[in-house]
Each structure stands twice: as structure tokens, then as C-alpha cells.
Amino acid sequence: MPRESCAMRRNRCWWSGNESAPEPASMKRDIPADRAYLLRMMPDEGLPEIGASAMRVRFGNNLIAEQRQRSGAAIARDTARDPMLWFLLMTSAILALFGQIFDAGVLLVAIVPLLGMDFYLHRRTQASIEGLSSALASEAMVIRDGAARRIPAKDVVAGDLAVIAAGETFPADGVVVAADGLLQAEEFSLTGEAFPVIKRACSKESEPGEATWVFAGTRLLTGAARIRVLMVGRDTIYGEVVRSVVDGPQAWTPLQTAVAGLVKRLLVVALVICVILAAVRVWQGFGWTDAFLSAAVLAVAAIPEEFPVVLTFFLGVGVYRLAKRRALVRNAVAVENIGRTSAICTDKTGTITEGQLKFSDAIPATADGLDWLLKIASLAAQQDGIDPLDVAILDHAPPVDPAWIRLRLFPFTESRRRESAFWMRPSEVGVLAVKGAPETVLALCDMDAATHDDWLEKVRDLSGEAKKVIACAWTDFAREPMAEPDGGCKFAGLIAVSDPIRPGVREAMAQARAAGVQVVMVTGDHLDTAAAIARQAGLTEAPDPVSGDRLEQTLKSMGQDDLRRLGIVARASPAQKVMLVKALQDAGRIVAVTGDGVNDAPALRAADIGIAMGLRGTRSAREVSQIVLMDDNFSTIIAAMAEGRQLFRNLRLSFAFLLMVHIPLVATAALIPLLGYPLLYLPVHIVLLELLIHPAAILSFQKPADDGLAVRDGRTNRFFAPLEWLAIAVTGTAIGGAILTVFVLGAEGGTWPEHGRAMAIVALFTALATMLLILTRGATVAGRMVAMCAIAAGFAFSQVEVLGRATHMHQLSIGDWLAATACGILPALGAAILLFTTDSAKA
């Protein structure tokens, strides 16, 4: 997998003067034996068209990944395997058979969001191949049949001689065989490193080194190059990254797993009880019509059709609320995981930092001061505005006087580690401006040993602040020099550039730390720079970075407490990022990964929640992520987590409410007929309950997030903690017992069975209202309105004779109504236990 090249290390040493940095990882590739002969071709020798066709047959085309998109019919077949879909259809058919058209229609309508969610979840498992390939060159210039021609990049083959100009993207992996001028490449999309990498041509007599390799998806910044293509398509490093994204497994989120498990259990229980109930009613002598009606009513009461409806609505609300927070949700199910995130693996460049070089410091060494230092730096810079360092200098320095003319340029080379430019203007002495590695430039200048050491100490101080440092010097010439001088220069001073910390990052880090969220910075940079950035970002005051090549050994030796303290992983390859994500997941974390490059794509996919940068991020990173930050601001992640946590809490309370209602509903719908009593619930009663339950569960639990990131609940993959399950079961059972009691006592003490039914319905409606007010803490307008409607409906149907006859209920006395109301309120107070256990579960 791609790692940092020695050329990158040398380039970094040029910036900072730090030659003692530990050996970084390498991006050198091994050349397969069947392709080694390609490097023996002449540097200007291309392929004939016939030879290119033979190479395409032998080594393949230059398509990064090929994957057939699944058809709508295939997705429909997968959706049709959902047992809940068939259970809804069968129950609806039974109701329609017995004339309950309205109830049957309600169930059919409930199928629509279920089908929509299934289609959506199947679609999101496929990454867009077009998106993953968009970072590659669309065309390439190659030598074919002795002439240069521009062809589609997909037609490039192994053995092709590609001609690359400054600013163009490399179409495949290969070795530089000829160079014109200083070659610098941008490999950010593969390594995550923002700074340019020096490249050089490989001679026929030597083995290709790290600095001679170039890679698909990266870009040539300066110079012009001819490369011998050796790896194409799926064999490129980019292709390996894409395959790991497209071919890798993608598990369900904890929410999907929990809801699916809950629905399956309820479906099985409902089916078994319906069959038993129908058989018992026939055995009791009530006949087949009563048996089927009993089973159908129980099925409607027991079927958990609200759960997918509520889930769909809540996720839609989450998408809307996160969008207002500048977080674009590409996958609605990810709304749940962003709220449950307990660890964030974030890259450095472009996420914690701004991802671009900016002028930081200037320390002049002469009496002429800052202006002279900036003038020398700008004279020594390339004026074409391509090199990122030169751009940072030229943006800050005053423009070069148009009267000055550059007569000679000594470009940067690895051996000299400096570049010089000779400028003159009429009737004046010329100036040779020099900039480069501090050790190199200081060695050219006339100064005593103490002064030399003092300036080197300043270089080390700036480097320790994660800044890239260059030194500047000059010397006067009366005429154009024929050779670059190797001494006698005057020292102008030091210039430092940096990749600044994004605004708001320190505050976001503090919020994450206070809320118990572990943040791990994962970067391709070296350890010293990573540690300095971590201090500046407020990630940690005492950074202890772990290098990527030692990550596996470190993770194996870490216990849970040690893993919690892990904060920095430096020089990490894509495979090592995935290793880190899986280690955190194995430790029970819900892991979010942020990234913006192709190198981040495998980790983004492996994470529970992938978060891509919308402004700087490559399209491949966005396509495999569930959330895209539209402002690339790390603090937006924290705001999204706060909204997600509140949304997940709302969703859990809504599901708890549904369970607390369904437990007594199903229990009494089954037990009363099994005990030989007439039916308590008729289809009209189930419809009335649905009209209350659906808006209660969907609209009442919509409390928005408060400012700040609250401490998460102390659970990992469980939807409810054991104590919460116990509170739900106890409350539902108590309500069911109260309803059963008032029905039996009311029926035997009054008109059989309408009196008992009226008392039981009043108790159930009152319990529903009580639970709703408790679970919402009375804080939502919808919750209060539904609760009042439930109480009003119970009163109206039990007190108004016309309504009572329509619903097969007897008119109650005020005393009976008050008794039934009290029997509904008292057991429903158990819902407060759930709030207590929820609050006590917070970490």
C-alpha cells in the first residue's frame, strides 16, 4: 500500500533542515519479472499500435475498477425476501376478507416506507465507480508509432511511453525515464501529505529508486517528464485502494441490526400467538369467523409496522437537521451512528489543518530588515506560481520590480538543496538571490561559528512548531555569473511556512474531550510534525505519536486503558488506517473516520460512519462516506454529533413508547380471548389506537439538540440497556394487568361485554397519554396535544351514547370513568423508571 517516499523525506528535510528524522515508509514498487524488460526500452521509444493491443491483452486495460451496477429488479427481489413485507400483506388480506377495508388499507400504506427503506439500504452499499475514477487523468499523451498522440487514459497500456507536462495527472504507475527541469509531484491523494515530492529520472544502468516512481491519481507540479508505464488499472496503487473499497464487506449499523432483530422477534411471536389463538377459539366453540377475526385483530395489534415508519421519519428529520448544521447526509441510516460515535479518527491535512501552505514567519538577519528578506525570497522563487512554497512566498512578498530581469536560474536539485536566480536592471549591480535548506544556505554565508549555531537553533525552534523553514541569502555581481557560487554569500534571514490549524478546531477538540469522545489524528507526516500539530490543535498537551510501521505491534500490546490514550498515528498507510479503525471497533467503540483523499477511502468504508470533506475532498472519498461536511470544519463534526445524539435519544424513547403500548395491547388481545371471554378489541378500536399511536410515536419525540455535545449513553451496540428493557417490560406488563383487571371486573359488574370494554379502552387511552407525557417530559407541543386527544377520546367514547354504540362500548358513570382512568395512570407511571435508567446509563 502507498507510503511515504524517501524523496518526500528529502524534500521535507529541505524545508525544515531536520536530517535526523526517522526513516519514513516507502512508496517504491517491486517490478514483476514479466515487466522488467520494459525498462530496457530507449527513453524516447514508444509502442507501435499493434504492440499496444498485445500489451492490453497480456496485462489488461487501464480501467481502475469494473463492477456491474445492480438492477432495480435485483434489488426488488432482495426486498421481497423481507418476512415483514409478506406478514403485512397477509394480515391486510385477512382484514379485507372480513370487510375491514380501512384497516387493510392502513397496513398496505405502511408497506410503502418499508419498501422505500429497503431500496435505499440496498442502493447505498454500492460505491460509485465513476466517482472513484474521477481523480484520474481522462486523457494521456503517449508515443505510438513514433509520434505523440493524445488518447483516452483508459487506453494506456503497460509499456507505453507517456509524456507528462506540469499540472497534468499521471495516468498509471510507472518510472520516470526522462526529465526536463526540476520534477515535483503532488501525492496528496495517496499519502495525505500536502507538500511536493521530488522526482528524478531513472538511468538504464540503475535500479528504479523511490524517487523515480510516479503513480496514477497524483499530479506533476513542475518540470516535464516521460514515464514508462509499468502498472495499469487494477494493478496500480490507486487501483488497489479502490478495490479495497468496492470489494470490501459493509456491515449493518447497530441501529439496523437492533431494529431488524426486534422486528423479527415480534413477527415470530405474533405469528405463533395468532395461530394458537385461532385454534383455541375454534376449540372453545366460537366458530371459524370469530377465530379468524381474533387472529387478525391480534396480528394488527402485534405487527410492529410503526417501527420502520418511525425509523424512516426520524432519519429524515436527522438528515434535515444535520444539513442545517452544514453536514450533508448521503446515507440516512448514518444519522444514528454519528450520534453514537465514541471515537474519531481524523486526518491532519485539510481537516485539522487548512491543507495549504501559508506564510508564517520571517526572521531577517540584516539591518535592511523584513523588506529586504522578502525581496530576496521572491527573487529566488519561481515566478510561474506552481510550486506551493513559491506561491506562499509570492503571495506575501511585494511584487518584483518590472525593471528587474532574470538572466540566469540555477534550479533546485537534490544534491545542491538550493536554488539561485540572478537578476539585473539597467545601470545597477546584479543580485544573485539564493533560497534553500537552512544548513546548505548557512554554509554559503560568511559568519562565525557562534552565529551559525544560533541560526540553526532558530531553525530547530521553528521546525518544532510544525513549520517548514528555508534560509535566504544573496551576493552582488556586476555581470551574469557563469556558475553558481559556493561561498561568499550574505545571509538575509529565515522564512517559515506552515499549514495552519483550522479556526474552531481547538474548541471542538475540547468539546469532544469533555464528552468522552476519543480523537485520534492519523497522518502521513513524520512524528515530530504530527506531535507539534497535535499540541497546536489542542488534541493533547503531551503527544506520544505511534508510527504506522509499529502500529500493529503497539495495538497488540495495548490494553483498553492504553488504547483510550492513543491520540496520534503518524506515517500511516491506508491499510494501517483500517487496522486502527478495526482495533477501536473491537474495543467496543463506534468509530467515525474523516478524510478527503483516495488514501482515506478504505478507512472511510471500514468505519461505522465515514465523514468526507466537501470542499477539499476527492469525489472518491465523498462517494464512500455517509456524511459530507460542506464547510470542511472539524467543529461541524461535533455539532453533527450533538444533533445525532439527541436524535438517537428521541428515537429510543419513541421505540420505548411503542413497546410499552404494544406489550399490554398484544397481551390483552391474546389473553382475554384465550380465557374464553368475548373479544376486547374490535378492528375499530385498533384503528383508533393506530390514529393515536402513530402521531404520538413520530411527532411527539422531536426535541432538538441543545448547544454543546452531551455525554453519550454508556452503551455500545445495544439499543436498550438491560435495565431499560426491564423498565419497558415491567411498565407494559403492569398496564396490561390493569387493563385485563378492569375488563373482567367491569364486564361481570355491568352490561356484558360492552361495559368492561369501555373501562378497558379508557384505561388504555389514559395509560398511553400518561406514558407520552412522562417520556417527553411534557416538553413537546405534539406530545401534549396527542395526550389530550387520547384522554378526550376515552372520555367521549365512554360518555357519549352515539359514539359508544358505534364502537361497541357502554356508557360509563363518572365513578367508573374515574376508576378506569386511575387504573390507567398508576401503572403507566412506571415509564418514569425508563428515564431514570437512561440518565443513570450516561457515561
pLDDT by residue (tens digit) across 546-595? Answer: 888 888 888 888 776 678 888 888 878 788 888 999 999 888 888 999 87
Q: At what angle do helices 831-840 and 722-749 cross, to 10 degrees?
A: 180
pLDDT in tens, 414-456: 677 889 999 998 778 899 999 998 999 999 999 999 999 999 9
Which of 188-197, 266-275, 279-288 is predicted with the least confidence, judged by mean pLDDT? 188-197
Which residues are bridge partners to 164 per DSSP?
225
Is the pLDDT assigned to residue 309 strictly greater than 90? Answer: no
Is the pLDDT assigned to residue 19 strictly greater than 60? Answer: no
CA-based nearest residue to 516, from 690, 664, 340: 340
pLDDT value at position 737? 93
Following CA atoms 437, 441, 442, 443 in sequence, which dihedral angle do they give, to the nearest 10 degrees? 110
pLDDT value at position 126? 42
289: exposed, middle or buried (Cβ count in 10 Å: 0-12, 13-18, 19+): exposed
If you average pLDDT over every residue of the chain, what do you get? 78
Q: How many CB atoms lie within 10 A of CB 102?
A: 12
Beta-carbon contacts of residue 147 (< 8 Å; ≥ 6 apart): none
Following CA atoms 108, 109, 110, 113 in sequence, which dihedral angle do they give, to the nearest 10 degrees? 120
User: What CA–CA distance (Å, rounded) separates 825 from 734?
Assistant: 11
Task: Give the C-alpha distances (Å, rounded to integers) separating 387 from 9, 384, 492, 789.
Answer: 17, 8, 22, 69
Q: At what angle do helices 831-840 and 634-674 cross, to 10 degrees?
A: 150
pLDDT value at position 216? 87
**C-beta separation of 733 from 755 below 8 A:** no
pLDDT average, residue stretch 28-40: 82
User: What CA–CA distance (Å, rounded) separates 353 from 503?
Assistant: 9
Domain spans of the chain, in order of start: 6-65+135-246, 278-318+646-840, 328-355+502-632, 359-498
Question: To the nearest whole percent, how much of the chain has pLDDT over 90?
Answer: 20
**C-beta separation of 733 from 662 below 8 A:** no
Q: What is the SS3 assignment for 511?
A: helix
Residues, the chain, total?
843
**C-beta separation of 265 from 307 below 8 A:** no
Beta-carbon contacts of residue 72 (< 8 Å; ≥ 6 apart): none
Angle made by CA atoms 795, 796, 802, in degrees to the nearest 5: 140
CATH architecture type of domain 278-318+646-840: Up-down Bundle (1.20)
CA-based nearest residue to 780, from 697, 681, 671: 697
Is the pLDDT assigned to residue 4 strictly greater than 60? Answer: no
User: What CA–CA distance (Å, rounded) separates 306 from 324?
Assistant: 27
**C-beta separation of 554 from 546 below 8 A:** yes
pTM value?
A: 0.58
pLDDT value at position 142? 95
pLDDT value at position 124? 43
Grid coordinates 517548514 are at which residue? 468
pLDDT value at position 65? 55
Please tell us whether the domain made up of 328-355+502-632 is placed in CATH 3.40.190.10: no
3-state secondary structure 252-286: CCHHHHHHHHHHHHHHHHHHHHHHHHHHHHHHCCC
pLDDT value at position 129? 40
Q: Which CATH number describes the domain made up of 6-65+135-246?
A: 2.70.150.10
Asked, as a colleague might, if the bond just before 753 is cis with ω within 30 of 0, I would say: yes
pLDDT value at position 757? 87
832: exposed, middle or buried (Cβ count in 10 Å: 0-12, 13-18, 19+): middle
Q: Kindly indicate the confidence band of residue 204, based on its pLDDT and cuts at 50, 70 and 90.
A: low
User: What CA–CA distance (Å, rounded) separates 515 from 710?
Assistant: 6
Q: Name the CATH superfamily housing domain 359-498.
A: Calcium-transporting ATPase, cytoplasmic domain N (3.40.1110.10)
Highest mean pLDDT among 111-115, 138-142, 672-676: 138-142
User: What CA–CA distance (Å, rounded) separates 265 from 272?
Assistant: 11
Which is more confident, 309 or 96?
Answer: 96
